[in-house]
């Protein structure tokens, strides 16, 4: 399905992460960081979404007028491996086509700070994506934020649930900003433009 086929359909941009202050700066929570920045950009604050186990902000992305897109920013509050239920509930409530769903998430197989956008595909062992795909199918967009592989023999679970290293934190704000730009580009101009501009 062409994502631009219905310009009036809302978009659902989901930052994946775990709720709670102890997880806030984990690598696994970079999706929350990007969602928070996008909310700041549209002047909104996250609030509980009715019965859905998520926090949302509603607004518009893009220039005023016909070029802007209605968007719902969401952070599931269910923990990563149960993200699919809250996301699917929000999709039903806001009547969002599957192709207008964007998951923003950490990606082990990409170097730190590198971005890749795509439509559909596998979950690559990511529990948030696995849960979303199980709940509603795989044909949604992903903005993948590279975090690299764990060093030495460190377990993947330990690595993703650790805070970004001090050297990484020096560039984190820049990379999160760039990821938010990539999401906006995807929603306004489509996947090909987002890929050509932000994939590296």
Just list the catalytic residues.
28
| Residue 55 neighbours by CB distance under 10 Å | 21
Closest CA to 165 of 189, 145, 148, 183: 148
Q: Tell me how many degrees the CA angle 6-185-133 measures, rounded to the nearest 5.
A: 65
For 163, which DSSP code? B
Please, are residues 153 and 104 in contact by the beta-carbon 8 Å criterion? no
Whole-angstrom distance, CA of residue 139 vs CA of residue 185: 19
Encoded tokens for 199: 């994939």
């Amino acid at each position: 399905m062409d994502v631009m086929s219905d310009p009036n359909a809302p978009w659902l941009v989901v930052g994946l992460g775990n709720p709670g202050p102890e997880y806030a700066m984990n690598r696994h929570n970079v999706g929350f960081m990007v969602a928070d920045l996008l909310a700041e950009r549209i002047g909104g604050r996250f609030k509980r979404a009715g019965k859905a186990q998520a926090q949302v902000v509603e607004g518009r992305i893009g220039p005023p007028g016909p070029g802007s897109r209605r968007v719902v920013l969401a952070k599931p509050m269910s923990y990563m491996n149960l993200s699919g239920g809250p996301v699917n509930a929000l999709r039903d409530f806001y009547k969002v086509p599957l192709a207008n769903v964007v998951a923003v998430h950490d990606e082990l197989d990409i170097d730190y700070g590198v971005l890749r956008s795509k439509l559909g595909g596998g979950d690559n062992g990511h529990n948030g994506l696995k849960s979303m795909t199980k709940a509603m199918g795989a044909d949604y967009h992903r903005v993948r934020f590279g975090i690299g592989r764990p060093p030495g023999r460190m377990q993947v679970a330990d690595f993703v649930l650790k805070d970004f290293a001090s050297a990484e934190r020096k560039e984190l704000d820049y990379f999160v900003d760039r990821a938010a730009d990539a999401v906006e580009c995807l929603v306004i101009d489509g996947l090909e433009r987002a890929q050509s501009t932000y994939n590296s």
